[in-house]
Structure 1
Amino acid sequence: MDRAAAADPTSTDADVERASPLLQGEAESLVPLLGAREQEVGKDSKSNNIYSKAPKIVLCLVFLEVTAFYGVYLNLIVYLQDVLHGDSASNAAAVSFWAGASYLMPVVGAAIADSCWGKYKTVLVGLSISLAGMAVITTSATLPSLRPPPCEHGTGTYCAPAALHQRLVFFAGIYLCAIGIGGAKAAIVSFGAEQFDDENGKNMVERERKASYFSWYYGVGNLAMLTSGTLLVWVEDKVSWGIGYGVCASFVAVAVVALAATAPVYRLVPPVGSPLKGACQVLVAFARKVNVRVPDDAAELYAEEHVKVSSHHPPRELLEHTEQFRCLDKAAVVTSADLEDGSPWRLCTVTQVEELKTLLRLIPIWLTSAVYFVANTQAQTTFVQQGTMTDSRIGRGAFSVPAASLTCIETAFVVASIVLYSRAVAPAARRFLCRAEAFTPLQLMGLGHAAVIAAVALAACAEARRLANVRAGAAPLRIAWLLPQYVVIAVSDASLSVGQLEFFYDQAPETMRGASTAFYFLSCSLGNLICSQLVTLVASVTATGGRTGWFPPNMDDGHLDYYFMLIVGITAVNFAVFVYLAKNYTPKRVR
């Protein structure tokens, strides 16, 4: 957080006044600009939003945003192939690059929200940009001049490739969507959580409501994905691409109008400065004082009592001193040079030091979540491949379930498990444990880690049975045998994702509340990247020396079950590391 460098050298108890140019102007200009009322964080009566409708409105906005985003994403490669007539390699690369940009933008959007605009303005601007992008791709899919003619079917099929201007218009539209929706994605999660004033964890009723919000956020997001993967994809494939994209655009338009119209409802928390500047100041101050001895009494460190807070600032979250990473306390040791200089790059407060310590504690737990998604992503990859090699008939052959539809079944189970947890499990646990909080975020994350091990183990057992049937010449395994692994991985997904979102939001430094929710999207991306490299490595190593390997062209000749057991081993070690980190985690303590 920014701080002026004015210190009085004649006084040993010098007052340093914090002056944030971001908040000074932003806190005053945000209200007339957006038509929303800014509520002070510390106000007890009017700002208590136990009965507020704001979180429900935010969840409705999440449904609209996620439905529109996946309405474009899930069928993008089909549009590039069937309408723009691109080749398979370039289409796959284009979709992967676009998806990577979409999941990178939450980090950028969160940084802007935390340092400059605040969450409300970031979400509003992001959705407005994505609306422009949706309008562009709808126009591109509707006007014949902006897409190549259909393929000619004669003696041979000829598909004219899209002209440069046609591709430029369409890709400009989807990248505007990536920038807009991606930038708003992380900010809208923390914006909804800001509507609950739990008084730094002291109000247990509000704290439990906030925990429930994270559950419903993830459930609504999965319901939106299910809607996109069924209704919108069907409209795009069977009715019209223009109409399908037009529906996506209308969803975003409704979200923008609703967010602007309901502005007075929300509790707005002004941005508190750059999330990285404070950490950099602590590291620089520590480097300058590397030879300074840390006092035995933490009361001698530079604390917030020495700081005058501007009337433009909301009361800032003050953190208690902790003993972990004690060497960093050197940044808060007051020396004679600090009294003469007064620079925030020489002397930092205890809270600034503790914010950096908190970030260092969170990183190892975040890395275990990234490894978790190595196993979780199997539901969209190897589980589907496994399903293609089974008998897809169920109900005595009355119905046939495509293997790719199993991911929709998983999504439905995620939504069902969240509803069951919120309506039955959590209330029963609160009564049984006699406490306001059913399970802590770390406990939910632990359940997710444990359940994913069981899910992949079930997949290994099913694959071993399938291969045994194939090699014995027996009937192929029915696809229904794969349902248990999808049910368990759905419970795992819901538990870990909800717990991670809540945990990082609660424990992240105040200056990184928006960026903390972006950690979730980063862990998903990193997990998928690790998984892709792992598959390539395993396929290469197991096929050396002319052997068939675990991933041959014909899966009946391979050993996908061995690969699943490798994933079980990796996730089991990861779970043990998580348990160790969770047991030894020092939570953030607010004064």
Structure 2
Amino acid sequence: MNVEMDEIKINETTEIDEQKWVYDSSVDYKGRVPLRASTGGWKASFLIIAIEFSERLSYFGIATSLIIYLTKVIHQDLKTAAKSVNYWTGVTTLMPLLGGFVADAYLGRFYTVLASTIVYLLGLVLLTMSSVVPSLKPCGNDLCEEPRQVHVVVFFFAIYLISVGTGGHKPSLESFGADQFDDDHPQEKRKKMSFFNWWSFGLCAGVLLGVTLIVYVQDHVSWAVADVILSLVMATSLLIFCVGRRFYRYRKVIESPLTTMIQVVVAAIKKRNLAYPSSPAYLHETQKSETNRRRLCHTKGLEFLDKAAIFDEAIDEKQNPWKLATVTKVEELKLVINMIPIWLTTLPFGICIAQSSTFFIKQSATLNRKITHDFMIPPASMYALGAIGMIATVIVYDKILVPLLRRATGNERGISILQRIGIGMILSVASMIVAALVERKRLNIVQVKGSMSMSVFWLAPQFLIVGIGDGFALVGLQEYFYDQVPDTMRSLGIAFYLSVIGAANFLSSLLITIVDHVTEKGGKSWFGKDLNSSRLDYFYYLLATITAVNLFIYVIVARSYSYKNVHSRRTADVANCYECDDREAMA
């Protein structure tokens, strides 16, 4: 009786202690265990979201008008300008893989964000100088036939500095924001589920202002004034980020996650001839979570890798990590391998999304964009409708759908992450069908009256559907890749999400090349000299078909996917959570 009473008191003391302090392996700015009331949570994450707002404002303010600047100011021909934009976009979307690795293996998320934001700001300042400093301007007057070579060099150096800054900024900042919530604290865990929705809200707010306000300033005032605004906004957000330093929770960098995975493979190969133990309880595991790494439950599948965790007295007395791995490290490698099919089956969705920033914008330029006699909408500003759709979806989903679905399904998220992504993929199919129908109507009107007689707002449905789909799929992908990667790889997890979009853009270009080649052999290419001589409607139908077929494959992959299964803090035995019933299935 006394023993039971003592255990109850110990548990009550532990619960009270965990309400006051955060024991999720994070530390405060002085390296101590964080005090829950004064660190992390929404007050810290909103400061981080402010940085993302300014970064997206700057990026889309530059990216959506880049091809216009290259053709009008630097006087590149359309083909060369398109290649320049593709190279810049490609570097910008691939750099996060390097930035995420550096954050997880060396610098940590806070210092990676700080360093990359400074680099980003330097790029913006240099960009401003290229349009303000007389000796760096394109030429001595407003109109010139050919820009100075020094301007071209400084301009490209500036935008590639911004690419480098984005590479460290994007993967580290989002994961750093999510780190402000404790997964093992019920209230904070729910807030963390909402974090990705409000992160996307801040992101879309930046996009919205970037493609409206900044683009308007570029068109109607000057490129120099727009660059000055972007530099001031980024400098202000950097100051805010630094001021909030005492409120953040930090994760210490212990080891390179890539090295850990290689060690598991090497250990498994060395022990390939050993027999499997009769129970997973005999596999090697630590008795408590390591710093910065929660213990994971053993799962079936990829059993060859389990051999790395078999303890062999003959060679494992010193527990060399190249010869013996813990169950957690083995499961971390399994997590990464199991994510590959999900990554591959989301690529067609990314290809559909890529059309909104290329062909959709080109369609906008051919239609009637007049609002009043004196005001005409810039083509790139139509992208704002997608941002509005995404913002509305995020708010409705977080405030209305999640509470209703939570009661209906019993799932804390309302629906599983993969179900949310699946809904977004369905909407991407719908957006391509709508885009095809609108394009066919535009082509019919061109033959009779000319496309300028058709309002640009005919494109509104396809932009809005894309935005709504992003509110489901893109936010779901962010949450999925952050949540399901090993704890030591969360910056890389966000980089994996970004790589879906980057790879999809390259695949979109490849698909256009293949379709152009095949249809040209058939008599007439779907991609002519201009939109009026092209058949984009056929291309949109092709994308809808590819994505619909892929959706069935995605459902099969998602139904067989096992979500990450983490030990409770008080669980000590590997066998106690073997095949825990904490899996979610794709309906």
TM-score range, shorter chain: 0.7 to 0.9
The aligned counterpart of 1:521 is 498
**2:146 is equivalent to residue 160 of structure 1:** yes
Q: Classify 1:469/1:247 alpha carbon distance in 2 versus 1 (closer, same or farther; 3 Å).
A: closer
On the 8 A contact 2:254/2:292 being kept in 1, the answer is no
The aligned counterpart of 1:24 is none
Matches within 5 A, 1:42-441: 46=37, 49-50=40-41, 52-150=42-140, 159-163=145-149, 165-199=150-184, 203-305=185-287, 314=291, 316-339=293-316, 342-387=319-364, 404-433=380-409, 436-441=412-417
**2:432 is equivalent to residue 456 of structure 1:** yes
Identity of aligned residues (%): 33
The code of the aligned residue for 2:171 comes to A
Partner of 2:346: helix, strand, or coil?
Answer: helix
> Which shifted more, 176-185 or 425-434?
425-434
Cα distance, 1:446 vs structure 2: 1.0
> Which shifted more, 222-231 or 78-87?
78-87
The aligned counterpart of 1:487 is 464
Cα distance, 1:393 vs structure 2: 6.9
Q: Classify 1:460/1:152 alpha carbon distance in 2 versus 1 (closer, same or farther; 3 Å).
A: closer
Partner of 2:316: helix, strand, or coil?
Answer: helix
The code of the aligned residue for 1:301 comes to L
Q: Classify 1:374/1:506 alpha carbon distance in 2 versus 1 (closer, same or farther; 3 Å).
A: same
Q: Normalised by the size of structure 1, how large is the TM-score?
A: 0.84
> Which shifted more, 280-289 or 475-484?
475-484
Cα distance in 1 between the residues matched to 2:424 and 2:405: 17
- Mind listing any 5+ residue stretches in structure 1 that lack a counterpart? 1-26
> Which shifted more, 60-69 or 376-385?
376-385
Q: Classify 1:467/1:197 alpha carbon distance in 2 versus 1 (closer, same or farther; 3 Å).
A: same
- Mind listing any 5+ residue stretches in structure 2 that lack a counterpart? 1-24, 568-587
Q: Normalised by the size of structure 2, how large is the TM-score?
A: 0.84
Cα distance in 1 between the residues matched to 2:471 and 2:114: 28
Cα distance, 1:420 vs structure 2: 2.3
For residues 143-186 of structure 1, the C-alpha deviation after alignment (integer angstroms, 9 at most, x for no partner) is 11112325787xxxx613322x4333333332222212331111
Cα distance, 1:487 vs structure 2: 2.0
The code of the aligned residue for 1:574 comes to N
Cα distance in 2 between the residues matched to 1:48 and 1:208: 17
The code of the aligned residue for 2:347 comes to A
The code of the aligned residue for 2:157 comes to A
Cα distance in 2 between the residues matched to 1:474 and 1:162: 39
Partner of 2:251: helix, strand, or coil?
Answer: coil
Cα distance in 2 between the residues matched to 1:75 and 1:559: 25
Cα distance in 1 between the residues matched to 2:64 and 2:469: 23
On the 8 A contact 2:124/2:227 being kept in 1, the answer is yes
Q: Classify 1:533/1:242 alpha carbon distance in 2 versus 1 (closer, same or farther; 3 Å).
A: same
Q: Classify 1:576/1:264 alpha carbon distance in 2 versus 1 (closer, same or farther; 3 Å).
A: same
Between the two proteins, the alignment pairs up a number of residues equal to 542
Q: Classify 1:253/1:442 alpha carbon distance in 2 versus 1 (closer, same or farther; 3 Å).
A: same
Q: What's the C-alpha RMSD, in Å, of the aligned pairs?
A: 3.0
**2:535 is equivalent to residue 549 of structure 1:** no
Cα distance in 1 between the residues matched to 2:458 and 2:73: 37
Cα distance in 2 between the residues matched to 1:441 and 1:63: 24
Q: Classify 1:380/1:80 alpha carbon distance in 2 versus 1 (closer, same or farther; 3 Å).
A: closer
Cα distance, 1:195 vs structure 2: 0.5
Q: Classify 1:423/1:549 alpha carbon distance in 2 versus 1 (closer, same or farther; 3 Å).
A: same
